[in-house]
Structure 1
Amino acid sequence: MSIDIDIAAPVGGPALPQERRLVTSIPGPRSQEVLDRKAAAVSAGIGHTVPVAAVAAGGGVVVDADGNSLIDLGSGIAVTTVGNAHPAVVAAVQEQAARFTHTCFMISPYEPYVAVAEALNRLTPGDHMKKSALFNSGAEAVENAVKIARIHTKRQAVIAFDHAYHGRTNLTMALTAKAMPYKSGFGPFAGEVYRAPLSYPFHDGLNGADAAARAISVIEKQVGAGNVAAVIIEPIQGEGGFIVPADGFLPAIVEWCRANGVVFIADEVQTGFARTGAMFASELFGIVPDLITTAKGIAGGLPLAAVTGRAEIMDASHTGGLGGTYGGNPIACAAALAAIDAFENDGLIERANAIGDILRSRLEAMQAADPRIGDVRGRGAMSAAEFVDPATGEPDAALTAAVAKACIAEGVIVLTCGTYGNVIRFLPPLSIGDDLLNEGLDVVAAALAAH
């Protein structure tokens, strides 16, 4: 039995009023009813950040069941990058759903899957011959990238980095560095996964070359280059804290991989599709991955993921070795084609950079006034502030949580992240207006000042 929601049944997309509006406390009574039902019906392992029941979203807002309109600075964790309920995505979904919803590409192939693969082969970094395979989630893409690298190299070892987040499957939990909440109690994990130190300029003070030399030394001493199938890294780390490696770090790692026959995998699940002010973050660092994993922003909110890479590596698997019943679902593919068209033709890369300029300017102004903001970093519409004890430099997770909670209570959706839980990340949809973005940042500044 569903609750009665009588808020004029708002339609999503940019037609929604672009305003922060609080008509009840957060959560309101109708949202609370849904949350009570969630507690009774949904596994306790599924948490939530914002205590509302969403009924509509678009532009830069999310509307809840009580009529509250919240400023969205999270984009469903970098998913609704083109904007929630983007009109072209909605139209593409409706048209495809009316034609057919599923055949399984491995049974009866269809053109939208092929068209998405062609677009990915064209858009991802490098002018070499590429092929793609489509899946359902970022974790599934990462897992398949590792499978492909292993069968191509006929080696087993995989190198991941400190602060990494690559997913929640058994293999991707092994790749992920953060125990709580992602790994604790869920082992044993997949074997032949090793961890190397990341370049984290705010904490280690190393330049890119020295940080890369440190990582390579660990890999060579603890694993041995001849045993390594793949090195996987997020060009800008996501859940680990929006860590931007020092200049030169990633190119040095790529060069080592090339010299040693190791497949370099760029996990661009969060950084991909204009989020960082480039179509892919790898471009910002001048690197060309052998394989690149994508998901999140690829399809405007529908579940789709991909592995794209050098044709000779992608073709290493035997026929039938890759796939999945829902991988490359036709509705998700239709949504992806509409979203990709928007990324390419609606000025969204430029918009991401403009949003990044606002975020950096406002966050650096807060930092100048408050030493508890130890670092401001990121690229484009993927920016963050790290909170520390100014006396010791130690992470301040309590302050971070308090600021985020206060922002949500005032109608601004913000997300935390970081190995130490002391980073607030900003991932606004590229459809947000400057006024709404600045109002959201005003609320963040006020919340910080109040704590």
Structure 2
Amino acid sequence: MAQYSGPDHILQQRQQHFYPCTSHFYQTPPQIVKGEMQYLYDHENRRYTDFFAGVSVVACGHCNPDIVRRTEEQLRTLQHTCTIYLTQPNADLAQRMAEVLPGTLKRTFFVNSGSEANEGALLLARLHTGKRGFIALEQGLHGRTYLTMSVTGLRMWRTDPQLEADGDVTFIPRPYERGMSGEEAAQRSLAALRKVLEEKGGEIAAMIAEPIQGNAGIIVPPAGYFAEVKALLAQHDVLFIADEIQTGFGRTGEMFAIEHYGVQPDIVTMAKALGNGVPVAAFATTDEIAASFNRPSASTFGGNPVSAVTALAVLDYIESHRLVQRSKQLGGILQEGLRSLAARYPQAITEVRGAGLMIGAELCGEDPPHGAALVDDVLEQMKDRGFIIGKNGVDRNVLAFQPPLVITEEDIAGMLTALEETLRSFI
């Protein structure tokens, strides 16, 4: 067995050499040393069933052998060139993306991360419209570059205090509010959008939104919301950017979450699951909009041969193993199980929401600080029981279930049993 330094030594190294902004889950964190599909293993070879997938990244499973094999082959053949040279992998990936993207989106620019993808999409919107302003939803999260942080409404991720002085971004309420029906919250959001467009639609280049807000608590807008948003934006020649960084590639039971709403965005951004752990991201659009991005630009590592071949292997695996359909089916089973727990433990679970295998269970919604403390306690005990769960939400009081899409019904049943035992111990 390999020798590992252990969690205490790693914590000491992090304390000495990481920035203080970097945190970790758990009071007693394990040292993760190996991954196999839906499972992770620590330095003592203890197995954990992963229900977070590195925040929706390893949708096809950790170290998936079908994907790793093709990545390794490319690593041994041609590791890197830039787009200034001709290689087959990124051209094939761009063509393949045109086949899976919604509607007439067919032009793709490859980068390395979700932040870069959103930054590029916002730049593209400005280039195409000749306008500068943006609209974003409150509590949304779009990245850690300056521009993407500017359109991020979730306060904990707006790191730079100078962002408050940025007048180019207008926030409107998200279509969710505790105590409101979904329709009431949607109409409040749409009314705010109308007002912004009436007052300064001539200055707005685009609206950016996650079809399902992830870090803000897994918030699912009502069915007709984005169709109305798109129609209002079109009246003022404002583009719609769908941020599919977390939701793309089958996570929600559709290839892209915006497809639940029957809407084609003008630009879509993607990352995370596309590389299944290998850094690759992209923003895609139509022929017409892409034509506006004609000044010299490149990404040194974006679409490199290794990431492009990996992404192609990911798309092949999603299709051949029907992971989109699997996400919808197993997501229904997981939601039903969590709602059953909510009915038995209403003092703990106040709301279950989500789509596919992107589900949030809010704890103690009427008392968020207590809910946040309970989430941490639940995560700790579930880890000790062999299950990795995430957390998110504006108040960090939401249990996040975003497992690899290769998770099994048996894995879900085992996790639900452990979660009930855990909740029982705290109630």
Report the TM range for the smaller structure's normalisation.
over 0.9
Output the amino acid matched with 1:110.
T
Contact 1:72 1:412 in 2 (8 A): yes
Question: Higher mean Cα deviation, 331-340 or 424-433?
Answer: 424-433
Unaligned runs of 5+ in 2: none
Q: How does 1:162-241 map to 2 (within 5 A)?
A: 162-180=138-156, 182-185=157-160, 187-188=162-163, 191-200=167-176, 202-207=178-183, 210-220=187-197, 224-241=200-217
Q: 2:116 aligns with which of 122, 126, 140?
A: 140
Q: Distance in 1 between matches of 2:159 and 2:266?
A: 32
Q: Distance in 1 between matches of 2:337 and 2:228?
A: 33
Q: Deviations over 1:370-410 (max 9, x none)?
A: 223221110011011112255x7888322222222222232
For 2:228, the equivalent position in structure 1 comes to 252
1:315 aligns with 2:291: yes
Q: Deviations over 1:188-220 (max 9, x none)?
A: 475511101110164432417624432323423
SS of equivalent residue, structure 2 residue 310 = helix
1:439 aligns with 2:414: yes
Contact 1:130 1:309 in 2 (8 A): yes
Compute the displacement of 1:149 (Å): 0.4
TM-score (norm 1): 0.88
SS of equivalent residue, structure 2 residue 55 = helix
For 1:61, the equivalent position in structure 2 comes to 39
Contact 1:201 1:245 in 2 (8 A): no
Compute the displacement of 1:96 (Å): 0.7
Q: Deviations over 1:142-173 (max 9, x none)?
A: 01000000010000011110110111111111
1:71 aligns with 2:71: no
Q: Distance in 1 between matches of 2:308 and 2:179?
A: 41
SS of equivalent residue, structure 1 residue 125 = coil
1:122 aligns with 2:119: no
Compute the displacement of 1:323 (Å): 2.3
When residues 346 and 283 of structure 1 are mapped into structure 2, their CA distance, relative to the original with a 3 A threshold, is: same
For 2:80, the equivalent position in structure 1 comes to 102
Contact 2:369 2:397 in 1 (8 A): no
Contact 1:269 1:293 in 2 (8 A): yes
Q: Distance in 1 between matches of 2:195 and 2:140?
A: 16
Q: Distance in 1 between matches of 2:369 and 2:2?
A: 46
Compute the displacement of 1:276 (Å): 0.5
SS of equivalent residue, structure 2 residue 292 = coil
Contact 1:35 1:53 in 2 (8 A): no
SS of equivalent residue, structure 2 residue 102 = coil
SS of equivalent residue, structure 2 residue 422 = helix
Question: Higher mean Cα deviation, 230-239 or 404-413?
Answer: 404-413
Compute the displacement of 1:280 (Å): 0.6
TM-score (norm 2): 0.93
Contact 1:212 1:253 in 2 (8 A): no
Output the amino acid matched with 1:241.
G
For 1:5, the equivalent position in structure 2 comes to 2
When residues 188 and 202 of structure 1 are mapped into structure 2, their CA distance, relative to the original with a 3 A threshold, is: closer
Q: Deviations over 1:308-353 (max 9, x none)?
A: 1111112212231x32211112111110000001112211112101
Output the amino acid matched with 2:119.
E
Q: Distance in 1 between matches of 2:15 and 2:299?
A: 31
Contact 1:303 1:332 in 2 (8 A): yes
Output the amino acid matched with 1:196.
I
Output the amino acid matched with 1:310.
T
Output the amino acid matched with 1:192.
D
Output the amino acid matched with 1:197.
P
Compute the displacement of 1:186 (Å): 5.1
Output the amino acid matched with 1:114.
A
SS of equivalent residue, structure 1 residue 207 = helix
Q: Distance in 1 between matches of 2:398 and 2:282?
A: 28
For 1:24, the equivalent position in structure 2 comes to none
Contact 2:139 2:155 in 1 (8 A): no
Question: Higher mean Cα deviation, 306-315 or 271-280?
Answer: 306-315
Compute the displacement of 1:135 (Å): 0.5
Compute the displacement of 1:138 (Å): 0.4
Q: Which of the two has greater helix per residue? A: 2
Q: 1:267 aligns with which of 234, 243, 246?
A: 243
For 2:374, the equivalent position in structure 1 comes to 399
Contact 2:368 2:395 in 1 (8 A): no
When residues 173 and 273 of structure 1 are mapped into structure 2, their CA distance, relative to the original with a 3 A threshold, is: same
Compute the displacement of 1:104 (Å): 1.4
Output the amino acid matched with 1:68.
R
When residues 277 and 49 of structure 1 are mapped into structure 2, their CA distance, relative to the original with a 3 A threshold, is: same
Output the amino acid matched with 1:346.
H
Q: How does 1:411-450 map to 2 (within 5 A)?
A: 411-450=386-425
For 1:14, the equivalent position in structure 2 comes to none
1:111 aligns with 2:88: yes
For this pair of structures, how many residues does the alignment match?
A: 421
SS of equivalent residue, structure 1 residue 139 = helix
- Please tell me the root mean square deviation across aligned C-alpha atoms, in Å: 2.0
Output the amino acid matched with 1:175.
V
Contact 1:31 1:64 in 2 (8 A): no
Q: Distance in 2 between matches of 1:34 and 1:86?
A: 26
Compute the displacement of 1:40 (Å): 2.4
